[in-house]
Amino acid sequence: MELYTTFLECALATIAILVGVVYFRKKSTDPRYPPGLRFLPFLGNVLQLGSDPLRHHHAERPQIGEGTLLDINSTGRPSNPVTNYIGGGNGLVHSQGSQWESQRRFTLRKLRDFGIFKSLVEESLAEEATRLTNFLEKRIGQPISCTKLFNGPVVNSLLKIITGESTEWDSPIKPKIIQFSNDVIEAINRTAESGLFFAPLLRFIAPGFFGWTDWVNACDKFNSLIDTSIKKHDGKLDLNFHNDFIDHYLGEIKKTEDPNSSFYQRNGYINLEAVVGDLFTAGSETSLSTLSFAILYLIQNQDAQQKAQREIDQGLAHPITVHRSNTAGNIEIGHVFPLGAPHRMIADTIFHGYFLPEDTTIIANFTVKRQCLGEGLAKDTMFLFFACILQKFKIEADPNTPIAKCETPTGLVVEPKPFKFMLSPRSIPLLGNVLQLRKDPLQVFQKWAVEYGPIFSIRIGTQNTIIVNDSKLVKELFADTNSTGRSFNPVTYYVGKGNGIVTAHGEVWEAQRTFTLRKLREFGVLKSSNEQFLKQESDSLIKFFERRVGKPISGIKLFNGPIINGLWKIISGENCNWDSEVKPEIVGRTECLQETVNKASLLFFAPFLRHVAPSVFGWTEWKNAIDRLFELAGKTVAEHSQRLDSNNPQDFIDHYLVKIRETTDPNSTFYKEKGVINLETVVSDVIGAGSETSSLTLSFAILYLLLNKQVQRNAQKELDRVVGSSRQVSLNDKTLLPYTEAIILETLRLSSILPLGIPHRMLKDTLFHGYLLPKDVTVLAGLYTIHHDSQIWGEDVDEFRPERFLNDDKTQVIHHEALLPFSAGRRVCIGEGLARDTVFLFIASILHRFNIELDPEHPVTKIETLSGLTVEPKPFTFVLLLRN
């Protein structure tokens, strides 16, 4: 059935491609049509424009998706479902014909009535300029990120004109109007970068991946805020006294009686909302990006900065010449809107001998000033802000992070990169660096760390991901509460949907983690002094092996049974017969989840693939495995709830149910149904995440000992000396068995089972060692790279040598600060202590009782691994022999 499904999906994809090829080949072209570049079906010239689109601007007819772009001027607007979403074809930017003419004429007239294009606007702009310089004075001598630096004053200037209101943009809490307008601008560039603006059909294929979801959410929030402001104005409108632009527009609506007018009743309100949105978004982005470029250019051109400041110091006799020149230079070099707003031909047209068909999209390569409705206001804003900064400050590069060159991420709008930008490997549109990670990704990450340094960024699809490859930096960053978020990934989100511990963040995560830690400590689970439940599993494991002495034993999934059973007893109080012929339900379902993690690993980086071929990329198996584990967790919780004695809780589930019954705060994560959902998720988190790392570590330990007989003999000599033959190994022996402990530490280092840890997400913009880590960016710890750094561990970094964790006389364990197998910081694994004790007791008990030998029929000759989200050994077998 699975093979049939795969075949069907491939067949449909092939048919779609063939249809596209036929369509594009049959598409008629008039001989007078402007010449252009060769293009691909569906994609057009998108891939050619990916890395540096502006360098292709001399091409006469690039093909973007299904729209033909011509480097000339026209007056229409293209019909695009992406751009139409924000205004629905209304307002100024996206409208056309008589509607556009009437809206533009009215808006221009009213803005002129306010004196927007006259000197009267200076009072408002001067106030914002003063606040800006005061803001900068508080940060003298400190590194300042220029990204979004001018958003506050620019947006607030527009806010006063449009709504008559003002906002505290320099307060710690960002006002909604600034936050939401920023979100719209960011969504614009993301959708342009992903190709959605040029191929809008992509919104149906993978809306999250191509930015459609972000675009819709940003537009909805922004439009909702505007709608609220309009309703507020409408409720207190005085037709005889208008205070701002919205009042004037509402007055026009009230007096309009022509039902065909774009100001008539509901049509007027829709256009007002669109016009306000246009003024905020289009009116702010160009100004703030130009100001950012101005700062960047002056850092790199100190002579120009000094000339301007000398002119100011001489009494501002003729300040406009230099400053206007600088501003014009910024506009000319920066080209913050490089292709303008797309136009559309509304009829077949012959232009200079070329045939321009109806509905063709037209763009222009601007190399001189372009006219826009707010040009005067934008220039005045930039001039005043720019002059005030130069009057009071000297602009210098951050000495810790000097700027090597000017770089710009390009979407529909060009903006300067953060002034201390991260190095990153070259990527391709849509996929980012995914293809470079197909083969041996861990070696690729090591290579990038050498080439780009301890902090660099990669692109997974269209999303930036930051990799930190230094243990001290990982500890410092992950100790910051700003880094405790979890990435917005639909694949990981399916596990608990933001509840529980592993995929939750914020208040949910803190409350669930705190309660779980406290209860596990009360049970003694996280204390080395209490080893009863571990001892039971260790004894059953030794008996299991004794029955198989001399027989080949598979090293894969070997330790799942005792580890899962130990955790299950803590969680549910139940015991499963893991070594029986029929695999217990909890063991089977947990193993099923473990198997799907690496099968679905590509989905974690390119989740849109779950829509393309869900069974091929492991999405179907992933969902089924999660559903089955949660089904068992829910069933167990329900059984405990029916027989619960609140005065005598027996296990973790009982204690949690008591907490639910005691909770009366409806906002609590333990309240009623919300509490039950979180309990089921925590149970799944502990069993799923808590079992795999320990089980894989034990399998790697067996494999390393199998190929390093001298290490095995050294450990056994230590065990014979400390434990002897009259008793079994105990956790109390741990401090007396430094060599055995060093074997565990070396196994954790060399295997690096979670090579990139679990993804973190920045909860807000954070400046870290001069780098701007933007809100919502994913951060990964390069644990495999850290654990295999020859500068830290020596030239024999890839060899299994436990002695690197011992002092010179091998009597004490050295705990290296660069060993981070359980990550670090506030989200360090809550089961670290239990995992370390489990692995130590199991390995020590095996070495005390058995010799680990090669399977003579299938001898292992080298370490081979499978890499995905986790690293696991390839299947291998071994033989245990009783020691004399």
Q: What is the pLDDT of residue 363?
A: 58
State how far Cα 809 lies from the chain centre: 47
CA distance 542 to 728: 11
Tokens of 477: 């960053």
Shared-domain flag, residues 786 and 715: yes
CA dist 271 → 64, 88, 178, 268, 631 (Å): 30, 9, 22, 5, 51
Place of tokens 């009116």: 283
Shared-domain flag, residues 495 and 568: yes
pLDDT, averaged in runs of 10, over the chain (884 residues): 46 51 48 59 56 48 46 54 77 80 85 59 76 81 73 83 84 80 76 69 79 85 89 88 87 90 89 86 73 77 78 55 39 43 64 68 48 70 80 72 53 47 72 82 91 88 87 94 86 87 90 90 58 83 94 92 89 85 86 84 79 88 92 94 92 94 94 94 89 92 96 96 92 94 97 93 88 89 96 95 94 94 91 90 96 94 87 94 90
Shared-domain flag, residues 675 and 816: yes
Extract long-range pairs of 717-725: CB within 8 Å, 24+ residues apart. Answer: 719/844, 719/847, 719/848, 723/848
Would you say 216 and 190 are in contact if contact means Cβ atoms under 8 Å apart? no
What is the DSSP secondary structure assignment for residue 523, as one 8-state letter? T
Query: Is residue 427 a part of any domain in this protein?
Result: no
Read off the CATH number of the domain in which 286 is found.
Answer: 1.10.630.10
Shared-domain flag, residues 142 and 20: no
CA distance 429 to 197: 14
Tokens of 330: 């910024």
Q: What is the pLDDT of residue 331?
A: 38
Query: Is residue 361 a part of any domain in this protein?
Result: yes
Query: Is residue 678 a part of any domain in this protein?
Result: yes
Shared-domain flag, residues 665 and 770: yes
- Is 576 annotated as ligand-binding? no
Query: Is residue 868 a part of any domain in this protein?
Result: yes
Shared-domain flag, residues 469 and 567: yes
Shared-domain flag, residues 439 and 387: no
Nearest in space to 376 (alpha carbons), one of 307, 286, 436, 308: 286
Query: Is residue 123 a part of any domain in this protein?
Result: yes
Q: What is the pLDDT of residue 323?
A: 40
Helix, strand, coil shares of the chain, percent, nearest 5, are 55, 10, 40
Query: Is residue 76 a part of any domain in this protein?
Result: no
Tokens of 840: 């130590």
Query: Is residue 59 a part of any domain in this protein?
Result: no
**Residue 11's CB: how many other CB atoms inside 10 A?**
10
Amino acid identity, position 354: Y
* Domain enclosing residue 270, as ranges: 92-323+336-392
Place of tokens 């951060």: 779
Domain count, the chain: 3
**Strand 463-468 relative to strand 766-768, pairing:** unpaired
Would you say 289 and 281 are in contact if contact means Cβ atoms under 8 Å apart? no
Read off the pTM. Answer: 0.62
Tokens of 483: 């880094």
Q: What is the pLDDT of residue 370?
A: 36
Shared-domain flag, residues 366 and 456: no
Determine the number of helices (DSSP H) and then strands (DSSP E) in the chain.
Answer: 30, 18
Shared-domain flag, residues 629 and 728: yes
Query: Is residue 350 a part of any domain in this protein?
Result: yes
| 781, containing H or E segment | strand 778-781
Q: What is the pLDDT of residue 127?
A: 82
CA distance 744 to 741: 5
CA distance 781 to 760: 9
Shared-domain flag, residues 127 and 33: no
b/e per residue 689-717 (b: at least 16 CB within 10 A) = bbbbbbbbbbbbbbbbbbbbeebbebbbe
Extract long-range pairs of 542-550: CB within 8 Å, 24+ residues apart. Answer: 542/845, 542/846, 542/849, 544/579, 545/846, 545/849, 545/850, 545/880, 546/849, 546/882, 548/880, 549/850, 549/880, 549/881, 549/882, 550/879, 550/880, 550/881
Shared-domain flag, residues 170 and 273: yes
CA torsion 853→858→860→865, rounded to 10°?
-130
Shared-domain flag, residues 574 and 644: yes
